[in-house]
């Protein structure tokens, strides 16, 4: 009995640890953030974007007060400061626990507007003024800003759905009338099977053409269905879509939208991890050619001259001594159209911490 209790306690500990370390959010929080971002993306005015760890409100207020901006932004920041004080007592959260609070402020019709959300994810510390709201931390870390094509099929039916975040923005269903078994009489079984296979092949060609039209700008193509149809269909995809394709287990026409959300989130997280790994590999390759920088003062100057192609930043950079300098780098990078990539992998963050939390891929060599 003692051993049994010990075993259950061990399993409970493993469950808690695996869930607390999980990098994926729940579908309900994912949906809430998607809706929030949909509203935020309607803002077409210069905006103050502030992300800060829960419990760091006073430090964030001090940061806002230290930075001097033009008068309209000073007014927005003053209102954000007041809102941060209020949120200390009652934070608005999309998830069960709040790790990061995000506030966006802008002026419309001479009125200051604020929108905020709390998330269970640890997002980078951000304080930025830009032409539109800065939502990349959500796009990168919460995987809410990508187009994903989901294809569910068997030999007779194909359902194609295009998702942007949680919203289905396009949908199509294709079907054929296909006899399942050879009946006695008429053509031989061999001829029946050949005719059946030809019909399936023509159907798959038609589906592949539809997928190509709907999925040209999709980040991922997720392919599933009960039986061997998905693997047979894969051979009909063009090379561009085949590279984006991932097979999805336990997906059928009856799979609930909640389970579909979970599968999309999972595959987007895998895709993001692969992308960050490729960026670091690119950095290491270009290092030999003199097209990288790792000293913060050099990166800062390179950003101001527009020489930085990609700024690679640890999501934990707010714990670095260069914190305020890196915040300025992010704002300059945004204004100079440099790509910003936040890294959440502990292994890569450890590497970045050696280089003061920031690396840069350059557009051209700097002296």
Q: Secondary structure of the chain: what % helix, strand, coil (to 5)? A: 45, 20, 30
C-alpha 123: how far from its chain's center?
12
Q: With contact defined as beta carbons under 8 Å apart, do 342 and 122 qualify?
A: no
What radius of gyration, in Å, describes the C-alpha atoms of the chain?
25
104 - beta bridge partners? Answer: 49, 115
Question: Which residues is 149 bridged to in the sheet?
Answer: 162, 221
Give residue 338's pLDDT band: very low, low, confident or very high (50, 70, 90).
Answer: very high
Around Cβ 295, how many Cβ atoms within 10 Å? Answer: 14
Q: Where are the alpha helices (DSSP H) in the chain?
A: 2-20, 27-40, 57-66, 71-89, 136-137, 189-215, 229-234, 239-244, 257-287, 296-304, 323-335, 346-354
CA distances from 82 to 69, 71, 100, 203, 310 (A): 17, 17, 17, 61, 35
CA gap 89, 239 in Å, rounded: 54
Name which residue leads in pLDDT, 54 or 179: 54
Residue 154 has pLDDT above 60, yes or no: yes
For residue range 7-35, what is the model confidence (pLDDT) as tens digits? 334 433 333 333 333 456 777 888 788 88
More confident residue, 68 or 247: 247
List the Cα angle 270/222/314 in 5-degree steps: 20
Residue 352 confidence class, pLDDT cut points 50, 70, 90: confident
Q: What is the pLDDT of residue 291?
A: 95
Q: What is the mean pLDDT of the chain?
A: 85
Would you say residue 6 has pLDDT above 80?
Answer: no
């Amino acid at each position: 009995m003692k051993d049994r209790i010990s075993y259950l306690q061990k399993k409970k500990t493993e469950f808690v640890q695996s869930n607390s370390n999980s990098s994926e959010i729940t579908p309900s929080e994912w949906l809430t953030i998607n809706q929030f971002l949909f509203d935020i993306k309607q803002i077409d005015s210069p905006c103050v974007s502030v992300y800060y760890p829960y419990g760091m409100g006073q430090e964030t207020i001090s940061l806002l007060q230290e930075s001097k901006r033009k008068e309209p932004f000073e007014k927005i920041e003053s209102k954000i400061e007041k809102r941060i004080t209020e949120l200390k007592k009652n934070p608005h959260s999309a998830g069960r626990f709040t790790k990061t609070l995000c506030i966006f402020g802008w002026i419309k019709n001479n009125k200051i507007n604020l929108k905020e959300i709390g998330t269970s994810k640890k997002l980078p510390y951000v304080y930025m003024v830009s032409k539109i709201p800065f939502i990349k931390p959500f796009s990168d870390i919460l995987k809410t800003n990508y187009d994903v094509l989901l294809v569910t099929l068997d030999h007779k039916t194909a359902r194609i759905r295009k998702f942007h975040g949680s919203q289905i923005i396009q949908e199509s269903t294709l079907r054929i009338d296909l006899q399942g078994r050879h009946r006695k009489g008429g053509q031989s079984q061999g001829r029946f099977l050949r005719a059946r296979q030809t019909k399936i092949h023509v159907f798959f060609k038609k589906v592949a053409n539809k997928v190509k039209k709907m999925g040209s700008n999709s980040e991922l193509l997720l392919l599933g269905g009960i039986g061997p149809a998905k693997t047979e269909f894969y051979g009909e995809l063009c090379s561009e879509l085949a590279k984006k394709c991932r097979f999805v287990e336990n997906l059928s026409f009856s799979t609930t939208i909640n389970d579909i959300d979970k599968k999309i989130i999972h595959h987007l997280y895998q895709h993001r991890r692969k992308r960050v790994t490729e960026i670091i590999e690119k950095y290491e390759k270009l290092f030999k050619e003199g097209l990288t920088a790792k000293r913060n003062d050099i990166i800062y100057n390179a950003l101001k001259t527009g020489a930085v192609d990609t700024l690679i930043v640890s999501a934990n950079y707010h714990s670095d001594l260069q914190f305020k300098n890196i915040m300025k780098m992010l704002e300059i990078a945004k204004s100079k159209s440099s790509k910003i990539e936040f890294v959440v992998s502990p292994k890569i963050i450890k590497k970045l911490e050696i280089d003061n939390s920031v690396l840069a891929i350059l557009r051209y060599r700097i002296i």
